[in-house]
Amino acid sequence: MKLHRILRGGTTRAYSDVAFNSKGDKLASVGSDPDYMLTVWNWNSQEITLKSKAFSQDVYKVAFAPENDGILTTSGMGHIKFWQMSATFTGLKLQGYLGKFGASELTDIGSFIQLPDGKVLSSTETGNMLLWDGGMIKCEISMKGKQPCHDGKIEVVLMVDTTEVYTAGEDGYVRVWDFETIDNADVTSEIAGPGSAPVSSSGPAQARVFEMEFLEEFCIGKDVKIKNMVRSLENAWQYLILDMEGNLFKLDTKQRFIEKVFSFHAGGVSGVEISSTSHAMISLGGDGAIHLYDYLKKALIAKEKYPSGGTALVNLPEV
């Protein structure tokens, strides 16, 4: 937990996402309002390698291609953009082109993965997945009967060991899909994997939809809106899942066991106070939640939430 490097000048106010390349020697970042800047760093020397405006609206995610760190992808509000580091007469530059949605509905893209063959699989707000190839949508992926892969926005698209794809979203479900079926999805051919069926569009105005079924699913909770999900480095069967209310869950896919690990504030912290009479600390979040902790035991003792929220916290003097 020691400060290792400081990277300055990448954005004006805040970073919305950062990502290392496969080798770990490069770092990419995207900024928030007002500049939405994409920056590639030589982080070890604390130097900016390349810099370009990513988009004119919010950018949520950035990632290097796994097999080629000269290729990047960014996505966000109503867009996905494909980048390449190109040698020009004036030196190395970032050149990007926007993905074209075509007949598919324009959507925010909160998550994506880059497949080994260069294609990109992205999330949507509508609950389907989009398979991109060469900056165009190769097909839209749904469940059979053109039912959405998730009810509502997909927040997580995660590839596991190049054999499975995990998705999760605001419906509280984690679903597992066959990677090979997705990678070969094509509505113009008779390719079909486990539980899949190609569906041809009947006109130029209709989205090209490829139907398939998930391999298995896990319901984290009916009122849980999943925001993020990461795989454990210590146990390949376990995942940590964060929801939009600040709750952290542990999912064991082998044992099919789900446990709430901790509860945080869902957003910024507006105030913190320490008790003068006990080992207690109280915090107020922008989400309207008040948390009481025993800081010696590192435990949450109690919590209360007020819909009106709060902006300041102060201890009353002892009478």
Residue type for position 189: S
Of residues 190 and 84, more confidence is placed in 84
For 3-12, what is the mean pLDDT?
Answer: 95
For 20-36, what is the mean pLDDT?
Answer: 96
Q: What is the pLDDT of residue 191?
A: 40
pLDDT at 201 over 50: no
Q: What is the pLDDT of residue 196?
A: 52
pLDDT tier for residue 315 given thresholds of 50, 70 and 90: confident
Strand-pairing partners, residue 147, are 143
For 14-25, what is the mean pLDDT?
Answer: 96
What H or E segment, with its residue span, contains residue 159?
Answer: strand 154-160
Helix runs in 169-306, H state only: 179-183
pLDDT at 108 over 90: yes
pLDDT at 195 over 80: no
CA-CA distance, 49 to 11, in Å (whole number)?
Answer: 14
CATH of domain 15-263: 2.130.10.10
Domain spans of the chain? 15-263, 269-305
pTM: 0.86
Report the SS3 class of residue 49: strand
75-79, 107-111, 192-196: least confident range? 192-196
14 Cβ contact partners less than 8 Å away, ≥ 6 residues apart? 31, 32
CA-CA distance, 130 to 148, in Å (whole number)?
Answer: 12
pLDDT tier for residue 192 given thresholds of 50, 70 and 90: very low
pLDDT at 133 over 60: yes
Residue type for position 294: D
Show the CA angle centred on residue 123, arms to residues 155 and 142, nearest 5°. 115
Label residue 222 exposed, middle or buried (CB < 10 Å: 0-12, 13-18, 19+): exposed
pLDDT at 273 over 90: yes
* % of the chain exceeding 70 in pLDDT: 94
Q: What is the pLDDT of residue 312?
A: 87
CA-CA distance, 146 to 128, in Å (whole number)?
Answer: 9
Q: What is the pLDDT of residues 276-288, one digit of tens each?
A: 888 999 999 988 8
Contact by Cβ (8 Å): 52, 38: yes
pLDDT at 268 over 90: no
Give the C-alpha distances (Å, rounded to integers) separating 172 from 95, 140, 152.
37, 22, 10
For 87-91, what is the mean pLDDT?
Answer: 83
